[in-house]
Amino acid sequence: MNRIVRVLLLAGLAFWSLTAQAQSARLRAANKQFDNLSYVSAVRAYEEFLRTDKKKDPAETRDAMIKLGYSYRKLEDTRNAERVYGELVKSNTDLDSEVYLYYAQSLAQNGKYRESQKMYSQYGEKQKEDLRGRRFTVSYMDMSRFYQDSSSYRLSSLPINSRQADFSPMYYKGGLVFVSARDESGAVKRVFNWNQTPFLDLYFHPDTNQLRVPGTDLARGVNSAVLGGGSETKPDGSEAQSETTPLTKAEIFSRTLNTKYHEGPMTFTKDQNFIVFTRNNSSKGKSGKSSDGIRKLKLYSSVNKNGKWVEIQEVPFNSNEYSVGHPAFSADNTRMYFASDMPGGYGGTDLYVVEFTNGQWGTPVNMGKEINTEGNEMFPFAAEGDNLYFSSDGHEGLGGLDVFVAELKDGIAYKGVQNAGAPINSEKDDFGFITDKNRTSGYFSSNRKKGVSDDDIYSFRHTCKQLNILVYDAKTGTPLENADVRILRNGTNQDLRVTNEKGRTDLCVDSNTEYEFRAIKEGYALNSVRFSTLTQSPKPVLNVSIYLERSENTVVKGVIKTEVNQQPATGVKVTLRNDKDKSEQTVTTGPDGGYEFDVKPGAPYTITAQKDRYATKKAQYSKTKKKAQVVTDSLGLYGVGDVFQLKNIYYDLNKFFIRADAAQELEHVKAILKEYPQMQIELRSHTDSRATDTYNIRLSENRARAAMDYLVSRGIPANRLVARGYGESEIVNGCVDGVNCSEGEHQQNRRTEFKIVAVQ
């Protein structure tokens, strides 16, 4: 296995002590190679010792086999690992629990799930606190859930794959940057002792359109013997050579970033001018080791200036004593996810998140037990939206590393994690997954060996399972045009569609999902149907029908927005209360912030919008005057941390009294505070850049205090207000010291804002 940037994160080695008796020369040589992490040499030496030494001590034989199995495991030679661990379990009863775990994992990686299930069960008996034993034992009772959506995927091996390891692709300027152990220079390249393979560098292919290779579809049927991976074999047991397409040329990504050591998985900010990448611990060409002699991984950043990567520096949370690697920026660049084996985690390697604001790093935070397990979580990727993809051998999967997805809400995987399923996942290692917002296409890497040996990069395309939603008049059977169809996915509002002249709209449905479709049209009562994809239909196109009855009810619809930027607010609980009969209806808004309700005519009602860290909004409505009408409205939410500029509060030069035009704007603030009696705000005042810093701080504090005094004089309690002056520290238009600006431009900086600091 060549991907040392991944393997080093797993380097929590357990060293088994041998008996104090004299060891043979062969055994001493094998142990030395093992201690040096030279697993290829260790395997040869242990196999020679076990084969040739006649008078072996049973304890030495047992420990040599344990280390041999561990070496095969590190080299990803799952067949030999299975053989060695099988012999150990068969001939020994006093083995450490890890042997049963490693045996179970090797069996699963070889597609022997029934046998693996038994070993996981034995491991669970020995290690009751480790949930993997119980989870995998139960999971392997029914394997069908891993294959539910497999027929919808098409995979292709990429022509950039070489004879060495190629993995962890990342989007970059219309192409892909990826990690490779290839050596296209023709010169002698240093090799890594772990597995005698070349060191890793970053490579680039500039055009993803050239990477779609016809005729290399790798998807297989559910009952295929090598579903999702595995090697074809000849009658003699050797691997059959797969047909491969000509290698597409890839270029070295950066001679500045690539060094004689390993460079690995990387991530880019949205503008693609800032990179964070993984590298062996090294500085100015010199490598650094931890106190236990291991060269850990670190993260480095670099800036692209005039086409060159410069200013290479470490991130501040690196350490010589543990590894950090596999970075992934969030879609909005405000956070970065990464993997680490730093102390205090749940298992081998965990996923962490760190804030990234204006080029400054926060403090890393463990992502918690919803994502991290007793095993290893790594290779994160944050897609557009709130989906975090990563690989793990601790969550239930098909073997080795599997790709998982977690839908995040406020940084928490509130719905748990979901296995991406076959054929993305196989019994081997599947990782380095990247995709678009809806997982319709993307790339990942795997050592399933369907093309070139070792790690290869694959493209995938998820085909549509189409569902037609048909809306009819219940009495006449006539298709209803321009009917709204609200799509609810697992209980949460999603898209709002409109039917065409045939009364139809359609969508691509996801597997393992509970849907509800609500049809709404003026003059009709709302009606809905439920649809589940927990079981799959072989039909390529499915239909569902909704029949609407004529009604005099009122349809109430609207959009919840955030007041600070007038964008749709997702995840808002919207409740309509019929104030006449006290009945309630509730929905949770989706990405469009929309809601729809069916209201009986002649009844007053109240709409309430609630979301954590936002002020609850209530709106009351009187009886509707007309029957069978549509009422449309929008509600705005104020959230903690929102900053609003009071555009009409300006001050004369060197003055801090409230002008007449400013008073009118403060009356608007007073109205907001009256509507939300639990809201607390900070009044933030600013000056222009003229005069000294000290003078401007004092002046801005006086201005903020003047605004506060005005509100207090109008009945707002002082304990709900904080006045703070910022002087000239936050100029909005570049009119800093030394820049010539007009009086109008300077006045833009003499402003007051209010920031919401608490709501209820």
pLDDT of residue 287 exceeding 80, the answer is no
Whether the predicted model's global pTM rises above the 0.85 cut: no
pLDDT of residue 627 exceeding 80, the answer is no
Q: Can you tell me the mean pLDDT for 588-614?
A: 91
Distance separating the N- and C-terminal Cα atoms of the chain: 54
Q: Output the pLDDT for position 21.
A: 43
530-540, pLDDT tens digit by residue? 999 877 677 77
pLDDT: which is higher, 82 or 623: 82
The CA–CA distances, whole Å, from 734 to 213, 552, 580, 748, 752 equal 51, 59, 57, 11, 18
3-state secondary structure of 109: helix
Q: Can you tell me the mean pLDDT for 418-435?
A: 95
Reported as half-sphere exposure (CB side, CA atoms, 13 A), residue 226 has a value of 9
Q: Can you tell me the mean pLDDT for 127-138?
A: 93
Q: Output the pLDDT for position 243.
A: 38
Q: Output the pLDDT for position 20.
A: 35
573-596, pLDDT tens digit by residue? 999 999 999 999 999 998 899 999
Structure tokens of 271? 């503008």
Strand partners, 721: 681
Report the alpha-carbon distance of residue 524 to residue 503 in Å, rounded: 14
Q: Output the pLDDT for position 648.
A: 55
Angle CA(424)–CA(492)–CA(497) in degrees, nearest 5?
90
The CATH fold assigned to 552-639 is Immunoglobulin-like (2.60.40)
pLDDT of residue 14 exceeding 50, the answer is no
Report the alpha-carbon distance of residue 642 to residue 564 in Å, rounded: 6
Report the alpha-carbon distance of residue 315 to residue 313 in Å, rounded: 7
Report the alpha-carbon distance of residue 116 to residue 412 in Å, rounded: 31
Reported confidence tier of residue 144, pLDDT bands at 50, 70, 90: confident
Residues 6+ apart with CB under 8 A from 419: 145, 146, 395, 396, 397, 398, 402, 403, 404, 425
Q: Which amino acid is at 114?
A: R
Q: Can you tell me the mean pLDDT for 161-172?
A: 92
Structure tokens of 12? 């929590």
Q: Do 101 and 77 meet the contact criterion of CB atoms below 8 Å apart?
A: no
Structure tokens of 612? 């954590």
CATH class (in words) of the domain with range 150-220+245-462: mainly beta
Q: Output the pLDDT for position 386.
A: 82
Report the alpha-carbon distance of residue 489 to residue 491 in Å, rounded: 5
Pick the CATH number of 464-551 from 3.40.50.720, 3.30.420.480, 2.40.70.10, 2.60.40.1120: 2.60.40.1120
Number of C-beta neighbours around residue 641 at 10 A: 9
pLDDT: which is higher, 213 or 360: 360
Q: Do 238 and 446 meet the contact criterion of CB atoms below 8 Å apart?
A: no
Reported as half-sphere exposure (CB side, CA atoms, 13 A), residue 89 has a value of 23
Q: Can you tell me the mean pLDDT for 130-146?
A: 92
The CA–CA distances, whole Å, from 146 to 397, 413, 438, 508 equal 8, 20, 19, 20
Same fold flag, 4-147 and 552-639: no
Residue 531: which of 519, 546, 509, 515 has the closest Cα? Answer: 515
Residues 6+ apart with CB under 8 A from 32: none
Q: Output the pLDDT for position 628.
A: 63
Q: Output the pLDDT for position 236.
A: 31
Show me where the domains of the chain are located.
Answer: 4-147, 150-220+245-462, 464-551, 552-639, 643-758
88-117, pLDDT tens digit by residue? 999 888 899 999 999 999 999 999 999 999
3-state secondary structure of 392: strand
Q: Can you tell me the mean pLDDT for 132-140?
A: 94
Q: Output the pLDDT for position 601.
A: 82
Reported as half-sphere exposure (CB side, CA atoms, 13 A), residue 670 has a value of 17
Q: Output the pLDDT for position 616.
A: 94
In angstroms, what is the C-alpha Rg of the chain? Answer: 31
The total number of residues shown for the chain amounts to: 760
Number of C-beta neighbours around residue 98 at 10 A: 15
3-state secondary structure of 127: coil
Reported confidence tier of residue 237, pLDDT bands at 50, 70, 90: very low
40-65, pLDDT tens digit by residue? 999 999 999 998 866 678 888 999 99
Say which DSSP state 349 is in: B
> Does domain 643-758 sit in CATH 1.10.40.50?
no
Percent of the chain with pLDDT over 70: 85
The phi, psi pair for 90, rounded to 5°, reads -70, -35
Q: Supply the DSSP string of 309-343, one letter for each residue.
A: EEEEEE-TT--SSS-EEEEEE-TTSSEEEEEE--T
For 142, counting Cβ atoms within 10 Å of its Cβ (0-12 exposed, 13-18 middle, 19+ buried), the class is: exposed
Reported confidence tier of residue 312, pLDDT bands at 50, 70, 90: very high
Q: Do 404 and 415 meet the contact criterion of CB atoms below 8 Å apart?
A: no
Report the alpha-carbon distance of residue 729 to residue 689 in Å, rounded: 8
Structure tokens of 380? 């994160």
pLDDT of residue 453 exceeding 90, the answer is no
Structure tokens of 578? 């019929």
Q: Where are the beta strands (DSSP E) in 343-454?
A: 350-357, 360-361, 365-366, 377-382, 387-392, 402-409, 412-419, 430-435, 441-446
The architecture CATH gives domain 4-147: Alpha Horseshoe (1.25)
Report the alpha-carbon distance of residue 413 to residue 406 in Å, rounded: 6
435-446, pLDDT tens digit by residue? 998 888 999 999
pLDDT of residue 250 exceeding 50, the answer is yes
pLDDT of residue 239 exceeding 70, the answer is no
180-233, pLDDT tens digit by residue? 988 755 444 454 455 456 778 999 999 988 886 444 444 433 222 222 223 333
Q: Do 372 and 340 meet the contact criterion of CB atoms below 8 Å apart?
A: no
The phi, psi pair for 747, rounded to 5°, reads -65, -30
pLDDT of residue 12 exceeding 50, the answer is no
- H or E stretch at 667: helix 660-675
Q: Output the pLDDT for position 680.
A: 95
Cα dihedral value 250, 254, 260, 263, nearest 10: -80
Residue 490: which of 532, 518, 528 has the closest Cα? Answer: 532
Reported confidence tier of residue 649, pLDDT bands at 50, 70, 90: low
730-750, pLDDT tens digit by residue? 888 889 988 999 988 888 888
Q: Output the pLDDT for position 655.
A: 60
